[in-house]
Amino acid sequence: DIKEILKKLEKKIDLLEKLNDEEFFLLSGQIIRYLLNQSEKSDKKADMIEPFLRAGKSKRLKQDIEMLYFNYKHKIPLNFSKLNNALSLVMAFDKDVKTSKFKDKLLVGILSDNIFYKKENK
C-alpha cells in the first residue's frame, strides 16, 4: 500500500533514521517531484524526470538531486524541516546501488502524492 509506505517514510524523516535501498529511491523520487514542481515552466512534461531515471547508480542520482536543489534553492524556505531532513537522509545514503534495480521505487516516489505538500499536524 503506497499510502502506508509514505507514512512510514515520513516517520523516518522526522526521526532522521537511516534509509534502506528501497526507501532511498522512494524518497529520492518524492524530492525530485517536489523540486521539479518549483520550476516556473508552464508546460511541465514527464520528460523532466528522464535524467533521474537514467542515472546509473545511486551516487549519480544524488548528484543530480543536488544539482536540481541548487537550481531551485531560491524557491525553498530555509526552515522547511521536512525537506531539509529528507535531503539530509538522501545525501547521507552511502551505498552505490544500481538504479535499474529500484527504478520502480523511484517512479512510485515521483508519481505518488507528494509528502512535502501535506500540512504538518502539530
The residue with cell 500500500 is 1
The pTM score is 0.92
CA-to-CA distance for 87 and 93, rounded, in angstroms? 10
CA-to-CA distance for 107 and 93, rounded, in angstroms? 19
Q: What is the pLDDT of residues 14-71, one digit of tens each?
A: 999 999 999 999 999 999 999 999 988 878 788 899 999 999 999 999 999 999 999 9
The secondary structure element, H or E, covering residue 11 is helix 2-15
